Structure 1
Amino acid sequence: MHALQSLHTFALPCQCHQLVTISDGQQLHDIDFSKPFCLLGEGSNTIFVDDFAGTVIRIALRGISIEERDSDWLIDVAAGENWHALVVHLLEKNIAGLENLALIPGTVGAAPVQNIGAYGVELAEFIEYVEGFDIDTKQCVRLDNAQCEFGYRDSVFKHARKGRFVITQVGLSLNKHWQPKLSYAPLQVLRDRQPTAKQVCETVINIRQSKLPDPNVLANAGSFFKNPIVSNEAVAKLKQRFTTMPVYYVDPHQQKIAAGWLIEQLGLKGHQIGDIAVYQHQALVLVNLGQGTSDDLISMIEYIQQHVWRQFSVRLEHEVRLMGQHDEIHIQGVRNE
């Protein structure tokens, strides 16, 4: 058995049957994928809530190449590269576009699975291709942007290709004609300043550091719940009761509600079950104060989901991947009421 506590940033004391680190894509041909397995980058969006009875496969592929084209830059990045380090590396080379996504933890290979996003920007805007190992055919396959089926915190890697595809490389297209994206309220202070991409990046970093705890200091997995997407009719009803509720346009029929705002309205900042707590400075974040257990975490998730449902009639889904004994599990503390 191999300890997993240091391999995921929420740091619950779990183990796995086998641990393999992939530093060369050819190693993937030697893995028996017929048995339970879990792909892992830096463990910033994964929490092991039980001892895992299979193989944890850590993706540690490295390498970055940059190709200049007529109107954009093509960035080929190995899946094991750190995401934030890539953002900083490109800005140092005066290649902009990813600055709104600065300081998001994790690896480049994990980013398309979640379609990471922040401050009005989603990774899907920049994906040219995702390359990986097809477990069924044992071949290297390249998917274009459309084939990745990106959605809000979603992709084909969570559905049709889940458990059948190992991301090994990502291709990003960054336009040379850069324009800052400052639509989200925290960034609007920059609108009249004609900021550089580096200044936008610094602002994003400062905002994130003021709201989110450093997992090296206080164990956490970042934003824990998805911002729920609801119908315009549901938003209109809620706005009658909660006039200051922040919402964001999704499409002509739906809007997105800030999950952190919902939790904060319930007075749950600092709420604690065992050693699991709602972070005092950002209600969207759950933290492990040191001796947290899986039972406490699951109880906290269900508690928050139930209270948000009772107050707002909105269902919260956890954004963080929870790994059980054999596979990913989903906690839904709200029954069909």
Structure 2
Amino acid sequence: MCKKKYFSNQSLKDLNTFAIDVTAKKVIFVKTIVSLINISKICKLSNIPYIILGEGSNILFLENYAGIVIINRIRGIKIIEKKNTWLLHVFSGEKWHNLVKLTLNLGIFGLENLALIPGCIGSAAIQNIGAYGLEFKDICQYVDVLCLKNNITTRINKKFCKFSYRNSIFKNQYNHEHAVIAVGIKLSKKWRPIIFSTLKKYIKQKNITPYSMFNIVCKIRKKKIPDPKKTGNAGSFFKNPIITKEKAQKLLKLYHVPNYPEINGLIKISAGWLIEHYKFKNLQVGDAGIHKKQKLVLINKKNATPQEIIKLAKIIHICILKKFNVFLEPEIDFIGSIGKVKSSDIFKLKNN
């Protein structure tokens, strides 16, 4: 078993990118699967709630956590070279951006569009992270999940992961008493750039390389999204709404909203555009505000409370619904005193 670190009533401010100053009864860093199993067993026997986090990059603590926060630091990367592909087996405690940089340095290409996305590998699978025309599901082969009831690890093939926009089976069926342990990633040796519409103005097709794509994506993200080490945030607070074609046509007759067709005939529209064009004037609740360069990002300017961030989010939600008749659904997870809380229970609003 690894050497564990225990803290009593420690602040979680440095363990969540929103920098919310709440506490947990204990924080335990784990580096092995055995440690994770043992700690979860102790929690269950003692009837103590626990939650497993990586970088704390897509969450908002609503209050002090009444149990144990387990920080996943189970790391390791195995790479197998095949004739036409690279196969990666990556443990869930690895940082996502570190993997992107490592593969690029090794001459293994295909992850560049997902550069600078915060969080760990486990979160990448759970959230089905995505950016600039590429999602985790596009490069995933499988996900290994540990059941903490029987300590059995199951390998789930990509086709059974139920990946969708910022969603997966791991946010639902495998949410409670399960932990993502590792993922399998498959990358083709024949690199083809994915030039999403918002990247076109930065790219000269003839000169594009994996390295230049990586640099372009990093430059854009640094410009648009604040560094959580300097300004607390959880990235995009809201998802881009996916609406029916009929509803999109009505909206597009009135507004020039950036929109993207989905495979199932639905239309994805830009939530950032909606917030920007509502033209909120210096909207701020306490220390909670909207990032000037990317309206989807809510920020903790200094010492924002969870209540201030929720109040700000509710104001945005209601205003967008009234003006555009579009329902903004939070992308982040909310964590209460004993575990996750459904966003619908917080906002008390239904998508009609």
TM score, norm. by length of structure 2: 0.92
Contact 2:202 2:216 in 1 (8 A): no
1:196 corresponding residue in structure 2:
209
1:148 maps to 161
**How far has the Cα of 1:285 moved from its partner?**
0.5
Q: Which residue of 1 aligns with 2:189?
A: 176
Match of 1:68 among 57, 81, 87: 81
Letter in 2 for 1:253: G
Deviation sequence 1:91-112 (CA, Å, 0-9, x none): 1111110000000001111110
Q: Is the CA contact (8 Å cut-off) linking 2:238 and 2:329 kept in structure 1?
A: yes
Aligned pair partner of 2:21 in 13, 18, 23: 13
Cross-structure match for 1:109? 122
The aligned runs of 1:1-337 (5 Å cut-off) are 1-30=9-38, 31-32=40-41, 34=44, 35-242=48-255, 244-268=256-280, 270-329=282-341, 330=343, 331-332=346-347, 334=349
Q: Displacement of 1:183 after TM fit?
A: 2.5
**AA aligned opposite 1:56:** V
Q: Matched residues in 2 for 1:252 and 1:65: separation?
A: 36
Per-residue deviation, 1:322: 1.4
Distance in 2 between the 1:91 and 1:241 partners? 44
Letter in 1 for 2:65: F
Distance in 2, Cα, partners of 1:225 & 1:205? 21
Shift of 1:186: 2.4
**What is the alpha-carbon root mean square deviation over aligned residues?**
1.5
Q: Deviations over 1:270-295 (max 9, x none)?
A: 42110000011110100001110111
> What amino acid is the match of 2:168?
S
Contact 1:275–1:291 (Cα < 8 Å) also in 2:
yes
Distance 2:91 2:190 in 1: 25
In 2, Cα distance between the equivalents of 1:223 and 1:148? 23
Name which of structure 1's ranges 33-42 and 230-239 shifts more when overlaid on structure 2: 33-42
C-alpha deviations, 1:285-327, integer Å up to 9, x for none? Answer: 0000111011111101111110010011111111111111122
Note if contact 2:327-2:351 (Cα within 8 Å) is conserved in structure 1: no
Q: Distance in 2 between matches of 1:110 and 1:187?
A: 28
Paired residue type of 2:56: G
What is the match of residue 6 of structure 2?
Answer: none
Task: Mark the CA change 1:89 to 1:269 in structure 2 (over 3 Å): closer, same or farther.
Answer: farther
- Give unmatched runs, 5+ long, in structure 2: 1-8
Q: CA deviation at 1:123?
A: 0.7
Q: Do the aligned partners of 2:231 and 2:300 also contact (CA within 8 Å) in 1?
A: yes
**Match for 1:16: what amino acid?**
A
4+ runs of 1 displaced by more than 6 Å?
none
**How far, CA to CA, are the matches of 1:134 and 1:70 in structure 2?**
34
Contact 1:28 1:133 (C-alpha < 8 Å) held by counterparts: no
Give the Cα separation in 1 of the matches to 2:237 and 2:206.
33
- Between 30-39 and 284-293, the greater mean CA deviation after superposition: 30-39
Structure 2 distance, partners of 1:193, 1:103, is: 25
Is the Cα–Cα contact under 8 Å of residues 276 and 286 in structure 1 kept in the other structure? yes
Q: Is this contact kept in 2: 1:50–1:294, CA < 8 A?
A: yes
Task: Give aligned pairs, total.
Answer: 336
Q: 1:116–1:123: 8 Å Cα contact kept in structure 2? A: yes
Q: Secondary structure at the match of 2:234?
A: strand
% same residue: 36
Describe the superposition over 1:144-196 as per-residue Cα deviations: whole angstroms up to 9, x where unpaired.
Answer: 10121111100001111111321111110001111000032224542533411
Classify the secondary structure of the residue corresponding to 2:262. Answer: strand
Read off the aligned partner of 1:153 and give its amino acid letter.
R
Q: Contact 2:60–2:306 (CA<8 Å) still a contact in 1?
A: no
1:142 Cα deviation (Å)? 1.2
Q: What amino acid sits opposite 1:257 in the alignment? A: I
